[in-house]
Amino acid sequence: MGFLHAMRAVFLVLALWETTAAATGPAAVDAGWLVGELRKGGYLVFFRHTSTVREDVETEARNSRSGRLTLDDCATQRNLNERGVAEAARQASIVAQLAIPFDAVYVSRYCRARDHVRWFTQRFTYSDALTPNRDAEKAKTLRQMLATPPAPGTNTFFFAHGGILWQATDYDSDEAETFVFRAGSPPTLVAAIKMSDWDALARMRGACCAPREFWSGQGPPRE
């Protein structure tokens, strides 16, 4: 009986550990470590556009369905709201303050991504792979981009949309969330920076930026 009771206790402890691990998810990272890594370069940083005018969601969808949406006319799209403008400015200010280097910058052609990136730089390249509507071919191209290491001593920046990232990687996101990847096939998610994490990065201390788990729970998409 003693042995059986001991084994039952072991199984209960293991079950509790597995349940706790599943509930807690990936661990947070140290903000100072993450800043140090980004300063060294070698990462792919995907910025989902910052907060938008929610009332424009249906307007953009309706314009897309009817063929009235045009990339050069921001009035036909969903755009950054005042909060989103402030968020973009805050992110860019901290990136500059921390002297995080970047070279190649790829951007969606949609106005909200263009308005986001311009707080960081005026030198960027438009990418059809980052521009809705998403499809399997664009997702494949983005995976290839996320498998390409940056130039030595720099990081590669992307400014685009949650759906584009999700189809390519199976990671869900919130507006203004930023993903830090190591290049690979598939890429390795190192950190997911929510807007509330940027203060910790600016201070270079504290826990922040816990990576997300795969949305499907089944790992990265396959070709």
Residue 213 lies in a domain: no
Mean pLDDT of the chain: 90
Overall average pLDDT of the 78-94 stretch: 98
Continuous segment of H or E residues that includes residue 178: strand 178-182
Residue 137 lies in a domain: yes
Tokens of 170: 């199976």
Torsion of CA 138, 216, 211, 40, to 10 degrees: -30
Least confident of 48-62, 73-87, 124-138: 48-62
Query: Is-contact 110 52, C-beta < 8 A?
Result: no
Residue 60 lies in a domain: no
Q: Grade residue 61 by pLDDT with cuts at 50, 70 and 90.
A: confident
Terminal CA-CA length for the chain: 53
What is residue 59's predicted lDDT score, i.e. its pLDDT? Answer: 86
How far apart are the C-alpha atoms of 7 and 131, rounded to whole Å?
56
Tally of domains within the chain: 1
Residue 21 has pLDDT above 80, yes or no: no
CA 80 from centroid of its chain's CA atoms: 17
Residue 49 lies in a domain: yes
CA 165 from centroid of its chain's CA atoms: 7
Cite the beta strand spans of 8-131 per DSSP E: 29-30, 43-48, 102-107, 125-126
What is residue 24's predicted lDDT score, i.e. its pLDDT? Answer: 63
Residue-wise pLDDT for 157-170, tens only, equals: 999 999 999 999 99
Q: Grade residue 16 by pLDDT with cuts at 50, 70 and 90.
A: very low
Overall average pLDDT of the 65-78 stretch: 92
Residue 199 has pLDDT above 70, yes or no: yes
Amino acid at 41: G
How far apart are the C-alpha atoms of 145 and 13, rounded to whole Å?
43
Print the domain residue range for 187. Answer: 28-53+80-208
Residue 35 lies in a domain: yes
Residue 168 lies in a domain: yes
Q: Where residue 45 sits, what CATH number does that domain have? A: 3.40.50.1240
Residue 125 lies in a domain: yes
Overall average pLDDT of the 114-120 stretch: 98
Residue 68 lies in a domain: no
Which residues, 6+ apart, have CB-to-CB distance to 70 below 8 Å?
Answer: 76
Which residues, 6+ apart, have CB-to-CB distance to 205 below 8 Å?
Answer: 30, 31, 32
